[in-house]
Structures are given as structure tokens and as C-alpha cells.
Amino acid sequence: MLALAVPASVAILGFFIAYVVNLRLAQRSDQLGRVSHQLSDFYGPLYALVNATNTSWQAFRATHRPGRAFWEVPGDPPSEADAAAWRLWMSLVFMPLNRQMRDLVVTQAHLLDQDQVPDCLLTLCAHVSAYEAILGQWASGDFSQHVSDVPFPRRELTDYAVKSFGPLKSKQQELLKNRQPPARSGLARWPGSSGPDRP
């Protein structure tokens, strides 16, 4: 009786160990899939767009009123040429980038790491909506307003993109490094054989 019980116990223990290992592998695979999805569909594009926006802004400011605030200086408004450049860059560079970021927030919010949408992302959406009205005024020839009532959250948005992308990318690399290689498959070989088709 004991001789039968020992193999049975070993088989049960082996099954339990295999179950635990497979469960952990499945959980790790699910976690890797989630993180990779977050990076490819939200945090990666957001990080790239934020950097593109900041680089474009720096290029614009290096040429137009460098070293000075653009609209915020009382008694020192931008020249007509600078104001026209502002409208051009805002219409063709900044707003297209901002719209892409807004669309990411609206369509991919389920990929957020947080339970609530961060304030900087909500402010971004409000900023874009407010500027749509201003662009509509420009299209009709009304240049009385150039700045949105909702400021662009440049510092907060950059901080959020950088602090979110980096840790997620590191987490993805760690999960990939710890992933178990797939089990080898094929026909069993006889000892000393050189291939699966040798008897």
C-alpha cells in the first residue's frame, strides 16, 4: 500500500508545482502584455509628442522674442511679424501636436496607471478645446485674442510623461528578462540517437 501511495503523492506534488509555476508564468505574461500595451498605445506616443512639442517650442522661441515673455509683458506686445509667426506656428505645429495628445487621453484613458485622470491631462484637454475657438476666430480674420484662457501645462505634462514612461519601460525590460523560454517540443529520442526519426 505504501509503495502505491508514494508515487501517487509524488505525482500530486508534481502537478501542484506545475500548476503554481504555470499560474505565475501566465500572470507574468498578462502583466507584460498590459505594460507593453501601455507603452505602445499611450505612454510611448505621449512621451514622444511631449518631447516634440518642447523641441518645437524651443525652436520657435529661439527666433521670436528670445529671452522675453511673448504675450505677458505689459507695454511690450509682440510685433506684427511675431504675432503672425505665433498664429502660424500655433496653427500648423503646436495645435496638431496638442490634438494628438488630447486624442490619446480621450481614446486610451483605460491604459492609465492611475485610478483618476491626472490634472495635467485634463488641463491639456481643456487647453486644446479653448484654442479651437481661437483658431476659429483667426480663420474669420479676428486676431483680437491669441492666448487661451487655459494655459498649456508644459511643466506638469513633461514631468508626468517622463516619470511615467521611464519606470514602465524598466518594468517591461525586467519582465522580458525574467520570461521563461518556451518549452522544447518534438519527438522523444532514444539514447544515443542523432535525430527524432532514428529508431
pTM: 0.76
Would residue 8 count as lying in a domain?
no
Would residue 155 count as lying in a domain?
yes
Q: Is 17 helix (H, G, I), strand (E, B) or coil?
A: helix
Q: Which domain holds residue 138?
A: 38-174
Q: Note down pLDDT in tens along the chain; length 199 residues.
A: 655 555 655 556 565 565 555 545 555 666 788 899 999 999 999 999 999 999 999 999 999 999 989 998 888 999 999 999 999 999 999 999 999 999 999 999 999 989 999 999 999 999 999 999 999 999 999 999 999 999 999 999 999 999 999 999 999 988 888 765 555 544 444 344 444 443 3
Would residue 2 count as lying in a domain?
no
Please count the structural domains in the chain: 1
Give residue 20's identity as a one-letter amino acid code.
Answer: V
Would residue 184 count as lying in a domain?
no
Would residue 22 count as lying in a domain?
no
Would residue 191 count as lying in a domain?
no
The whole-angstrom separation of Cα 63 and Cα 74 is: 21
**Residues 101 and 46 sit within 8 Å (Cβ to Cβ):** yes
Half-sphere exposure in the Cβ direction for 91 (13 Å, CA): 14
Would residue 185 count as lying in a domain?
no
